[in-house]
Amino acid sequence: MPDAVSAVGGTATPPATSTVTRSDQMGKDVFLQLLVAQMRYQDPNSPTSTTEFMSQTATFTQVEKLEQIAAQNASMVALQRSLGAGALVGRTVSYTGDDGAPVTGTVGSVKITGEEPSAVVDGVDVPIGRLTEVSLPASR
C-alpha cells in the first residue's frame, strides 16, 4: 500500500496499523516454554512450592487474557474505522492529489477492504487517512 501524504508539509506518512511488534516482548508461548522448562529441570530435593506454581499459572492466564483483549481492541478499531468511513457517503471532502494539488469532491461510496477503508471521491479511490477536510455538501 502506498504511503499517505500528510497535509502538513507534504511528507509521506505510513498508514496506521493495529498491531505493535516489539523485540523485547514475551508472548504466551515463550512464557509457557519457560514455565515447562522450570518444572522439568527443578531440583527434586527442593521442588517449586505450590504457591509459586499457582502464581506462575495465574501470570500465564493473565498474559493469555491480555492478548485476547488486545485482539478484541484491534477488531473494535477496525469496526470503528468502517463505521466512520460509512458516515462519509454524500459528504464533500478534500484531499491532496498525487500531484500535490488539493482536490475537492463528493464521496459517492466507501470501500472497506484491507487495513484502511477508502472513499470513492468522484470516481477516485482515496484512503481515509489522506482526507484533509470533511464538510456537508452545499445546499441547493
Encode pLDDT of 94-135 as tens digits.
998 888 899 999 999 998 887 788 899 998 999 888 889 898
Q: Give the DSSP letter string of 60-105.
A: HHHHHHHHHHHHHHHHHHHHHHHHHHHTTTT-EEEEE-TTS-EEEE
Task: Give the integer Cα–Cα distance in Å for 69 and 66.
Answer: 5
How far is CA 64 from its chain centroid?
Answer: 19
Topology at the third CATH level for domain 51-140: SH3 type barrels. (2.30.30)
Read off the pLDDT of residues 27-48 as tens digits, 9 standing for 90 and up: 667 777 877 787 777 766 776 6
Q: What is the pLDDT of residue 7?
A: 45
Task: Give the integer Cα–Cα distance in Å for 95 and 132.
Answer: 5
Is pLDDT at 69 greater than 90 in this prediction?
yes
